[in-house]
Amino acid sequence: MFGYWPEGAQRRRTMIPADPPIAVQVDLSRGVIQAPDDRMQGHVPLWLHKAGLDLTGKADGVLLGQVRSRGGSWLAIVQLTLHTGDQRGALVVTHLCPARWVFPRPGP
Mean pLDDT calculated for residue range 76-89: 49
DSSP string, 23-84: EEEEETTTTEEE--BTTB-SEEE-----TT--TTTTS-EEEEEEEE-TTS-EEEEEEEEE-T
User: What mean pLDDT comes out for the span 59-64?
Assistant: 43
Residue 92 CA to its chain's centroid (Å):
8
pTM: 0.28
Taken in order 21, 27, 31, 33, is the CA torsion positive or negative? Answer: negative
| Domain boundaries along the sequence of the chain | 16-101
Residue 20, preceding peptide bond in cis (omega within 30° of 0):
yes
- In tens, the pLDDT along 6-43 reads 333 333 444 445 555 555 554 445 444 444 444 444 33
Q: Which of 72, 67, 56 is nearest to 94 (CA)?
A: 67
More confident residue, 2 or 79: 79
